[in-house]
């Protein structure tokens, strides 16, 4: 069966002498691995279309009895040239791609996730600042899509409204399903989070469009705290979650 689909290139690897194996996240079919025969030849018809982070239109010979599909044609719909000009932008985009790869199974369609990933890459590509905030938005919405959105407005132990504790500074605690108020946090809490970081996390949950949080100003320490709490939440709910290769690569650069 020949199918045509929009896709985002997640990753690529060499295969034999001249080919590549490419992982795509498609709009219609979810994640698919394809073989691009001859893609490493100098005169390949695929040219640079198979670079990670590209938004492409792909024609695939699809056989439901095979795990590796045959890529017949691939054309760039949109490339995001500014990502490679800025290390933070590239880090954000590559981390989002790797997260999407880790949390999804092959051929499980999720058009909402496809659009979320595409929107992130588009916004980060054109961003003039705060690229990492887009990653926090992506991780927040990814948790919602996967069905483990935390309740950040009521104490998960006593039910108290968190806003009643937000008038002054102090620590809260994050649990698997939400947040502990200050009193319960003192008795039960681990994974402490400050009032400021909790407010940012609430804001990330509330906004619908990624563009609306790109002007959010966070200090370096606040970025670190918000990023750590989001990643810990994903780790708790995703079996076999490992440290991301993209983080290891960029750790020494950023």
SS3 109: coil
CATH code of residue 150: 1.20.1440.120
SS3 of 35, please? Answer: strand
Q: Which residues contact 65 (CB under 8 A, 6 or more apart)?
A: none
Write down the pLDDT at residue 20: 95
Residue 247 predicted with pLDDT over 80: no
Looking at the fold, whether 38 and 117 belong to one and the same domain comes out as no
- What is the distance of C-alpha 253 from the center of its chain? 20
Contact call for residues 144 and 103 (beta carbons, < 8 A): no
Tens of pLDDT, residue by residue over 112-129, are: 999 999 999 999 999 988
For residues 201-225, average pLDDT: 91
Q: Judge if 21 and 126 occupy the same domain.
A: no
Pairing of strands 151-155, 68-78: unpaired
Q: Which domain-ending residue is among 14, 45, 79?
A: 79
User: So what's the pLDDT on residue 164?
Assistant: 79
Both 18 and 34 in one domain: the answer is yes
Look up residue 249 and give its two tokens.
């690569």
pLDDT at 79 (0 to 100): 86
pLDDT digits (tens, 9 = 90+) for 134-147: 999 999 999 999 99
Q: Which domain holds residue 180?
A: 82-254
What's 45's domain CATH number? 2.40.50.140
**5 & 44 share domain:** yes
> Percentage of the chain surpassing pLDDT 90?
63
Q: Tell whether 198 and 89 lie within a shared domain.
A: yes
Both 91 and 215 in one domain: the answer is yes
Encode pLDDT of 178-189 as tens digits.
899 888 988 887
Is the pLDDT at 253 greater than 80? The verdict is: no
- Domain total in the chain: 2
Last residue of some domain: 64, 79, 94?
A: 79
Q: Please check the confidence at residue 169 and state whether its pLDDT lies above 70.
A: no
For 188-194, the CB contacts below 8 A with 24+ separation are: 188/157, 191/229, 191/232, 193/225, 193/229, 194/169, 194/170, 194/222, 194/225
* Domain identity same for 12 and 90: no
Q: Please determine, for residue 201, whether its predicted confidence score (pLDDT) is greater than 80.
A: yes
Between 251 and 160, the more confident residue is 160
pTM over 0.85, yes/no: yes
d(CA 21, CA 30): 16
Residues 179 and 222 in one domain: yes
Report d(CA 222, CA 218) in Å as an integer.
6
């Amino acid at each position: 069966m020949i199918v045509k689909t929009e896709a985002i290139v997640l990753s690529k690897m060499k295969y034999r002498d001249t080919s590549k194996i490419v992982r795509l996240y498609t709009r219609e079919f979810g994640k698919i691995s394809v073989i691009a025969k001859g893609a490493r030849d100098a005169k390949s018809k695929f040219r640079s279309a198979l670079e990670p982070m590209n938004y492409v239109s792909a024609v695939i010979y699809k056989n439901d009895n095979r795990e590796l599909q045959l890529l017949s044609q691939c054309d760039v719909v949109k490339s995001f040239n500014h990502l490679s000009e800025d290390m933070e932008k590239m880090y954000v985009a590559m981390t989002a791609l790797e997260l999407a790869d880790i949390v999804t199974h092959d051929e499980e369609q999720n058009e909402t996730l496809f659009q979320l990933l595409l929107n992130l890459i588009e916004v980060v590509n054109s961003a003039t600042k705060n690229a990492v905030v887009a990653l926090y938005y992506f991780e927040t919405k990814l948790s919602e899509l996967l069905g483990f959105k935390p309740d950040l407005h009521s104490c998960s132990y006593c039910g108290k409204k968190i806003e009643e504790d937000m008038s002054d500074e102090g620590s809260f605690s994050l649990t698997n399903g939400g947040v502990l108020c200050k009193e319960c946090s003192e008795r039960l809490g681990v994974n402490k989070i400050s009032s400021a970081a909790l407010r940012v996390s609430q804001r990330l949950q509330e906004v619908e469009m990624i563009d609306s949080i790109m002007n959010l100003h966070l200090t370096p320490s606040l970025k670190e705290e918000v990023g750590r709490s989001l990643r810990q939440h994903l780790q708790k709910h995703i079996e076999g979650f490992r440290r991301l290769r993209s983080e290891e690569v960029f750790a020494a650069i950023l």
